[in-house]
Amino acid sequence: MRFNAKDLALLARRPSGCFDKEGRLKICRVVGDEKLIEPRERWCRLKGNLLFLMKNKSSEASEVVILERCWIVEFRSKTDVSIVLKFQSGEPDLYLEAASKPDCESWAVALGEANSEGLQNKIQQLRRLIMEIKEERSSDEARQFLPSSQVDSLGELQFTSIQRIANEPKLEFSLACKDLVAATRDRKLNTFIQVSVVHPAEHILTRYSSTEIVEGTRDPLFLTGVTFPPEYPIYEETKIKLTVYDVKDKSQDTVRTSVLPDHKEPRADVGRSFLGCTTFRVGDLVKSKEQQLTLTLRTSDGGKTVGTIEVNLVKMGELEDGETDHITTDTQDQKCALVRECTATEGISGKDNLPSLNAVLKNPICKLYRFPTSDNKWMRIREQMAETTLSFHVPKELINLHIKEDMRRNQELKDLGELAPHWDNMRRSVIAHCDQMLSMYQDTLAELGKHTGSSFKSSCSKGEKTLEFIPINLHLQRMHVHSPRLKDALYDVITVGAPAAHFQGFKNGGLRKLLSKFEAERRNTGYQCIYYSPENTAKAKEVLSNINHLQPLISSHADLLLNSASQHSPDSLKNSLKMLSEKTELFVHAFKDQLVRSALLALYTARPGCVLKKPAVPRNTAEEGGDDLQHQDHPSQIKRQDSIPHHSEYDEEEWDRVWANVGKSLNCVIAMVDRLLEKDNISHIKEGENDPSAADCKLLHTGSDWYEQLYPLVITLKDCMGEVVTRAKQSMAFVLLQELACGLPQCLMLTLRRDIVFSQALAGLVCGFIIKLHTGLHDQGFLQQLHTVGLLVQYEGLLSTYSEEAGMLEDMAVGISDLQKVMFKVIEAKSEDFLPIITGRREHYIIEVQLPAKMFELLPQEIKEGKLLRMYPVLFNVGINEQQTLAERFGDTTLQENINQENLELLKEYYKLFTEKMPPDCLPHFQEQNDLKGLLENLHQNIQAKKRKNVEIMWLAATICRKLNGVRFTCCKSAKDRTSMSVTLEQCSILRDEHQLHKDFFIRALDCMRSRQTQGALNESDDPETGCLTDNKPTSRHFYPVALLLVSSHLLVVWLILSLALLLAKYQ
């Protein structure tokens, strides 16, 4: 950064009144939690975004801190008087300590408002103040809509609520104009309607939304309706103002009117002119006999009539009663016969009335459309976008699991015992690095716990370190279609930014390349440590996980067995023994792997003064210990083995004997229980023939004998199991030590990167599964498919293979592949908290989805019994932007081709598995199996063709996913422009192919869905993708102006030439 030192020095010496704030503070630099030096007192002066640090008030400035790209951390305790400035550049933090708590708080406020972001906030506050002044005139206008008696007593009014179905929009209506009057006779109008709301309790006119622009007609029929969500405060007394504008320059109006403030009519020179306005009361529309109002449009002075507006109340799932209503429109002049008639169709909106679904979705934004069908009838589309609380819930749960897992691993490394100096130094280094990473996870979790406000991460925050585990722009995009002759249908797409580690960057590529490179380098470090393959390290983690899971279960079942013996309950004794046997056999077989034996030997060689002995002829094998139930020695004859020797000969068969002792101990317990039960049956027969009272006394005495005879056997079983656990834990921890030591610090950094990417991918998957489960809850075929085969999850990637996006694609491919490690389990909710529960470890996660009791009863018995549900994620990527053009002409598209080919094989495997396990007539989609085979073959041909920007791959993959009852995802860099293009095109294509959308209205329907105009005006500061988020409601990605995917031929040629020049300069 360039600056003039003399000017800065002159600015620092200006009089005290020229500064925003000044005073004494103790200051030092901080790295992590450690202060580099003791805080020193400095005289601090704040001017704009410059903080001058001086030894005293009259001295020269010794340092200048620029308060940009930084944030304030203020400690909220009553006694702490310090704050910390953190910088995005990574430079050491600046620690500031004030003399008192009030002084500390005032400095925190001043520093927080000193940067450009704080200046923007001030500008927004001034704008709001100006708006409040202007609202006084608007409130006068609003008061004329209400009787004077109501104006005087609004505080005492009880407003009338609108009756509606739960979770359905409160009010929806469509609009059309007739006989509009143009300023000049020959002009063809390009009109749209702006909808504003007058709240009866506030007297404020608030701009709510707008329709699309209809061109070239004086009788415009607007395809975009108006919808008010369930939580919107609208009553029968609410007034709605409709203002009609004529757009002179459509492109100019789309851009410039989007930032107009509320209550301000645009000037004629901004590209549109005012035609007329009218108002109506909501209660009049709701209570009207025909549920329709015809209103007169008048000029602003109320004198001249300029046309009429027709307002029709809309109810999804049913059409208006009465005779057919013909509205003539055409593709040129909007004149075509469109018919509305009453039909009885089965609505599906009631399925959304679910408390558990409301727990994960929030802040819905709805849009309403009416499009003509090919047989000239109306179909209605409600488009809904909602953010999800899972964007933060899932990452926080996952980070918490990582912390627990890493703490256990660190403790297991410390419990390895005495090691030779080389290995001990290696262990110390590994533990130090692991503790540092653990501290970072803990800090991230603490920062996420402080997060408030919106429940999604906007794309402008993708580079923030504290939010790197959070998915970008995770939303549900739902289209509810009501056709006159077809059943209602729901189409869901989860939109999310590509799972990638944006904060870490892509200078060296993404996970796919980094993991491959790391594994190749790790093979060459054998002289420093022992190389174990990724499969062996994964097996070691699995063994440790099984130990931690099974050991407490076996101890618990052993205690239940003794309790049943003390109560002399034969049935309970049998059940306890059965559970104990099952868990113990799982425990024994968990160590049936050569890895444990070889790791024990490797660990022994790492001990000081180890001596190896040749193995003797094996006397007892592990299989004998696990399978022979008849000819076993009594546990008292089993020789107890010591822990692994340190300074004596090592017998390689010792592990086999220790391992076999668990099976022998279990067999002794089983034999003793059988003997006791057999004696009990004989004694019952004999005692039953004698005095009953004597039999009762005998029963008490026998119960005591059962416990005394089983107790030493159970204790021996626990001891043998404990010895196995100690040895196995140490050996597997030694394997993990080698994995970490061979790749420090790259190994931990790759683990962190993989955790970040997986966290983002998992949040989207959990959201998609819950949504799919709720929508398919009444579909028995889908539920059978879910527990028999599993759920297909199809990701549509739109990333290019050029520059940084190639690294993002590599991250995304690994993250989606890792989702195969995730299993779902549906449980009955025991409270009102329906958020999912995550358990497991990095190699295996189980997501427990909670459902209310009534919904849980609808599930098949297999799912209710806790069967784990598998996921089959597949990714198909096709770059569609101008960067992909460069990649195809001058770069490399091998990455995309390999990913598509690999995932095609996975998709074929899923289809094969489905055809083997599911009946052909299970689902309606599967009545035409040949269609699916043809689609798969067509997809295979398109992938092999290697055609440039072959978007047919995307369409085929999405169609196959829908036919296989899968979950659809669409991803690009930030889930905005390219995602919006894809989703809206897919929605209109579905309407055309599945619901008979009129072919002449395809482009217009696409424009309606892509238009930001129809969402209403948003201030730039309210846009979560361009400025500070001032509202908790998200803005749909397809409500943004869509970036052009193609550039002009001349510009493309210039771009290619410049890019080629840069590439040549880079590699010279």
Catalytically active residues are: 972
Please tell me whether the peptide bond between 169 and the residue prior to it is cis, using omega within 30 degrees of 0.
no
Nearest to 168 by CA among 346, 292, 353, 344: 353
DSSP codes of every residue in 501-556: -TTT-STT--HHHHHHHHHHHHGGGTTTS----HHHHHHHHHHHHHHHHHHHHHHH
Both structure tokens of 953: 């791959």
305-318 burial by CB neighbour count: b if 16+ within 10 A, else e? ebbbbbbbbbbbbe
Q: How far is it, in rounded angstroms, from Cα 976 to Cα 1038? A: 7
Instruction: Strands of 709-841 (E only): list them.
Output: 791-797, 822-828, 837-841
Do residues 256 and 271 lie in contact, with contact meaning Cβ atoms separated by under 8 Å?
yes
Sign of the alpha-carbon dihedral angle for 506, 508, 511, 512: positive
Q: Which phi and psi (to 5°) does residue 384 adopt?
A: -130, 135
Interstrand relation of 649-650 and 791-797 (parallel, antiparallel or unpaired): unpaired
Q: Which residues pair with 41 in a beta bridge?
A: 26
Tokens standing for 739? 């994995």
E strand or H helix at 746, and its extent? Answer: helix 746-775
Largest CA distance in the chain: 118
Contact call for residues 655 and 600 (beta carbons, < 8 A) = yes
Cα within 13 Å of Cα(929), Cβ side: 10
CA–CA distance, 550 with 818 (Å, rounded to integer): 25
The one-letter code for the residue type at 668 is C
User: Helix count (H) and strand count (E) of the chain?
Assistant: 28, 31
Residue 797 · residue 496 · CB < 8 Å: no
Helix, strand, coil percentages (3-state) for the chain, rounded to 5, are: 50, 20, 30
Selection from 27, 64, 63 nearest residue 42 by Cα? 27
Q: Which two tokens stand for residue 505?
A: 């960057």
The whole-angstrom separation of Cα 665 and Cα 1040 is: 69
Full DSSP string of 454-511: -SSB-GGGTT-GGGTTSPBS-EEEEEEEE-SSS--EEEEEEEEE----TTT-STT--H
Q: What is the SS3 assignment for 225?
A: coil
Q: Which two tokens stand for residue 925?
A: 């989609």
E strand or H helix that includes residue 901: helix 894-917
Query: What does DSSP say about strands 361-372 and 378-388: parallel, antiparallel, or unpaired?
Result: antiparallel
| 49/362 Cα distance (integer angstroms) | 37
Nearest partner of 546 among 413, 729, 404, judged by Cα: 729
d(CA 440, CA 394): 18
d(CA 352, CA 682): 62
What lies within 8 Å, CB to CB, of 413 at 6+ separation is 427, 430, 431, 434, 733, 736, 737
Backbone angles phi, psi at 233, to 5 degrees: -80, 80
Residue 575's alpha-carbon distances to 142, 712, 929, in angstroms, are 76, 20, 47
